[in-house]
């Protein structure tokens, strides 16, 4: 209702002003009318998805739809204002426009076919339907090219009132098929990613160029009422969504009905006044005076613009005073101009920082003390190679090296490696140890399940074992007669015990067995870690801005090297905490101060940065600490695996590790045992299980350790999205610190 009220007021004001302009040109007419169009909407796009909206689409290219537009139209002959040919016209349209359309994209994927009961290559459709409606204002010109045929060109401003979307992905092939997931298999779904809402980051104004044709058909004998069939093409000039290529193009077919308004005839001239005879007198002398008065009103504003003067409306008047034969004629001119005076907004910044302990209390002195420690790790070897579902290819996360690299490969290369990096070299470690022990044999046992995608793949277990064997024989040139291949199939009636996806993934493996300890013994590595006396830095950024801030940034360096940067949008926080982690120690290398500065940008893009301030740093290496303390501390860490799933009993494979650990414990050793669990199961159960594992290890070592902890699954040592990560989490970590006098 407000829209039509606005159109009515707008039309009345416009018609009145135009009529006043052409009142003396009685051969010219303005026309007022209504129009209605049928819209053929076409979307030109090149984007995969809307910002922040999940979608698997590769790219949307085209979209189609239809809608309508209707409103008021005004036609004005340009000869009413300019001395030009009367064949030129100007037009204004104000109305409502429907720009709805739908984008569609298809692509292939792996789907599940119930008819064939297996994975097949299918096809699915990405649908993105928009509902876009706008208040449209069109300004264009017209020129008569023949008879009543006119050509048009101009521009359209569309202010969006509705901008919604609805997207979903639909499986189209095979018929009756469903989406397939590599983890759970058949999802029993034909629709996914079904989302709707307001189009994110959409522009509120769409611009388009206009070209078109129209033909006037008179509906009465005087030609006052005219119907004009018309066709227009709207070419989108800006994108619907900021940052992605998506424009609206429209072909509009319709008709406008216009009524011509004829200005009133000019008033007849007044009859001339009778001429009066005036006796001869001395002539009156005119004295002319110009009186000019210009005032300036100053308005102060905040911004980066240059000062602007806006000229006011000029007013004039004439005063005439007759004094005898002297007539004084004064022409008065006055004007009030406006000076917009711009100045930069006030912007200031400051920052301070404090070092805090775990209780959020300031430490004394305010110094970042970093201590470097070295620990010897004994990493048991998990002798399982895990495979993807229904696959016999060794996954790429396992390290495959060239024959040239094999010539120089040594376990010494793994000296500073982490547990999982050592594990991913399992085949190279086994190959090297078999080459160094030419009489040792191994057994490879491939395992598969008789359910899901692996059901019916009779030779899959053997193919998996042969993939491992081929790597050892072809890359490491191990003789095939030293490698025995076995297979194991978990029957369907027993597979119900492995419905959990994590358990299913753990079954799909090849186990490497050897009676010789030298093939499967643990790998030794040395790792460095760091401890901080301070647990966190608390920064206190301060900003003083007249117009608010757009973004902020805290920059930190250690010496000449960047440490960490912290950024945010909008107003800066009153305080910002950074918690030190063990890995942060790798970024420190000396006693250079940790410097920090604060930068902020206000809403006029004005930036200010504080000078760098500093916090003292004391970096203590292992060698330096031993020189200070006059003692050397030997630190060793052992991971006891494998505990069976949901078990705390020490397996025979760990007996030799237990004996080895006993030999490392001295009377003055400090022993700490931490038990862990994987993510499978409830946290309370996993905590209790990890405590039982730690206690069982202490019992096996026949000592009362100074500290026994159950960590449970609250702190996962490794990525549990892979089966090897879960296996290595079913462990007990034994830390031994022994002081050695120098």
Dump the DSSP string for 356-382.
E-TTS-B-SS-EEEEEEEEEEEEE---
Q: Long-range CB contacts (< 8 A, 24+ apart) of 623-626?
A: 625/371, 625/372, 626/742
Which residue, 187, 170, 184, is CA-closest to 114?
A: 187
Helix (H, G, I), strand (E, B) or coil at 178: strand
- Distance (Å, rounded) from C-alpha 678 to C-alpha 719? 10
Helix (H, G, I), strand (E, B) or coil at 652: helix
- Distance (Å, rounded) from C-alpha 712 to C-alpha 493? 32
Q: Which pLDDT value is given to residue 307?
A: 87
Q: Please check whether residue 219 is in contact with residue 187, taking contact to mean a CB–CB distance below 8 angstroms.
A: no
* Neighbour tally for 291: CB within 10 Å: 11
pTM over 0.75: no
Q: Which pLDDT value is given to residue 176?
A: 82
Which residue, 665, 685, 668, 667, is CA-closest to 677?
A: 685
Which residues have C-beta within 8 Å of that of residue 79, sequence separation ≥ 6?
A: 25, 28, 85, 86, 88
Exposed/middle/buried for residue 613 (C-beta within 10 Å: 0-12, 13-18, 19+) = middle
- Distance (Å, rounded) from C-alpha 152 to C-alpha 108? 45
- List 128's β-bridge partners, or say none: 103, 167
Q: Which pLDDT value is given to residue 461?
A: 93
Alpha carbon separation from 132 to 51, 94, 240, 244, 415 (Å, rounded): 17, 17, 10, 17, 62
- Distance (Å, rounded) from C-alpha 476 to C-alpha 468? 11
Q: Which pLDDT value is given to residue 636?
A: 82
DSSP 742: -
- Distance (Å, rounded) from C-alpha 100 to C-alpha 130? 6
Which residues have C-beta within 8 Å of that of residue 171, sequence separation ≥ 6?
A: 111, 122, 123, 124, 125, 177, 178, 179, 190, 191
Binned average pLDDT, 10 residues per bin, the chain of 742 residues: 56 56 56 93 91 87 93 82 67 92 88 84 88 93 88 94 91 84 80 89 93 90 87 94 92 92 52 60 85 88 83 88 87 89 89 91 88 76 93 95 91 83 94 94 92 86 95 94 92 66 89 91 77 89 92 92 90 91 70 92 92 90 69 75 80 79 86 92 92 90 82 89 92 86 61
Q: Which pLDDT value is given to residue 267?
A: 44
- Distance (Å, rounded) from C-alpha 638 to C-alpha 522? 10
């Amino acid at each position: 209702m407000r829209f039509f009220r606005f159109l009515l007021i707008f039309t009345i004001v416009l018609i009145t002003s135009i009529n006043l302009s052409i009142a003396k040109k009685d051969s010219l007419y303005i026309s007022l009318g209504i129009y209605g169009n049928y819209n053929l909407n076409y979307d030109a796009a090149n984007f995969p998805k809307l910002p922040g909206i999940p979608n698997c689409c590769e790219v949307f290219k085209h979209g189609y739809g239809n809608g309508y537009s209707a409103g008021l139209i005004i036609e004005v002959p340009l000869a009413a204002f300019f001395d030009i040919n009367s064949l030129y016209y100007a037009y204004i349209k104000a109305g409502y426009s429907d720009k709805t359309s739908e984008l569609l994209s298809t692509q292939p994927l792996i789907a599940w076919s119930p008819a064939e009961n297996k994975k097949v290559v299918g096809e699915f459709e990405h649908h993105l339907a928009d509902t876009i409606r706008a208040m449209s204002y069109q300004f264009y010109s017209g020129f008569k090219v023949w008879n009543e045929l006119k050509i048009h060109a101009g521009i359209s401003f569309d202010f969006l009132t509705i901008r919604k979307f609805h997207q979903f992905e639909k499986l189209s092939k095979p018929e009756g098929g469903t989406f397939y997931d590599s983890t759970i298999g058949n999802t029993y779904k034909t629709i996914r990613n079904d989302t709707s809402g307001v189009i994110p980051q959409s522009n509120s104004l769409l611009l388009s160029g206009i070209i078109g044709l129209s033909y006037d058909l008179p509906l009465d004998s005087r030609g006052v009422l005219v119907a004009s069939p018309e066709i227009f093409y709207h070419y989108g000039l800006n994108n619907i969504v900021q940052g992605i290529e998506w424009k609206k193009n429209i072909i509009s077919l319709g008709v406008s009905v216009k009524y011509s308004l004829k200005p009133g005839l000019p008033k007849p001239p007044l009859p001339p006044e009778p001429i009066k005879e005036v006796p001869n007198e001395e002539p009156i002398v005119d004295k002319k005076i110009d009186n000019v008065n210009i005032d300036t009103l100053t308005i102060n504003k905040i911004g980066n613009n240059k000062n602007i003067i806006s000229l006011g409306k000029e007013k004039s008047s004439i005063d005439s005073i007759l004094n005898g034969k002297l007539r004084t004629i004064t022409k008065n001119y006055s004007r009030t101009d406006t000076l917009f005076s711009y100045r930069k907004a006030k912007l200031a910044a400051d920052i301070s920082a404090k070092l805090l302990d775990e209780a959020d209390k300031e430490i004394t002195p305010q110094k970042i003390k970093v201590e470097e420690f070295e620990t010897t790790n004994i990493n048991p070897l998990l002798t399982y190679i895990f495979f993807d579902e229904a696959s016999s290819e060794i996954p790429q996360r396992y390290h495959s090296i060239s024959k040239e690299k094999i010539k120089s490969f040594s376990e010494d290369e793994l000296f500073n490696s982490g547990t999982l990096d050592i594990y991913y070299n399992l085949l190279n470690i086994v190959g090297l140890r078999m080459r160094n022990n030419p009489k040792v044999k191994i057994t490879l046992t491939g395992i598969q399940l008789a359910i899901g995608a692996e059901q019916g793949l009779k030779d899959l277990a053997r193919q998996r074992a042969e993939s491992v064997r081929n790597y050892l024989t072809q890359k490491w040139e191990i003789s095939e007669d030293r490698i025995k291949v076995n297979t194991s199939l978990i029957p369907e009636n027993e597979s119900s015990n492995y419905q959990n996806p994590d358990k299913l993934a753990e079954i799909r493996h090849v186990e490497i067995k050897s009676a010789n300890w030298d093939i499967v013994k643990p790998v030794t590595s040395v790792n460095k870690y760091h401890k901080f006396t301070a647990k966190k830095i608390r920064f206190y950024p301060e900003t003083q801005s007249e117009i608010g801030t757009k973004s902020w940034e805290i920059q930190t360096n250690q010496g000449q090297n960047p440490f960490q940067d912290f950024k945010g949008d909008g107003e800066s926080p009153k305080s910002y905490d950074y918690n030190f982690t063990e890995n942060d120690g790798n970024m420190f290398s000396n006693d250079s101060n940790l410097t920090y500065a604060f930068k902020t940008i206000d809403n006029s893009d004005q930036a200010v940065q504080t000078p760098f301030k500093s916090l003292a740093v004391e970096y203590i290496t292992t060698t330096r600490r031993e020189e200070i303390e006059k003692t050397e501390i030997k630190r060793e860490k052992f991971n006891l695996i494998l505990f069976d799933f949901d078990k705390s009993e020490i397996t025979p494979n760990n007996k030799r590790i237990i004996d080895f650990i006993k030999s490392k414990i001295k009377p003055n050793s400090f022993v700490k045992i931490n038990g862990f669990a994987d993510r499978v199961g409830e946290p309370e159960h996993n905590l209790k299980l990890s405590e039982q594992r730690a206690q069982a290890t202490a019992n096996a070592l026949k000592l009362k350790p100074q500290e026994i902890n159950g960590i449970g699954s609250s702190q996962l040592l490794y990525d549990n999205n892979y089966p090897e990560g879960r296996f290595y989490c079913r462990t007990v970590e034994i830390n031994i610190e022994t002081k050695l006098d120098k």
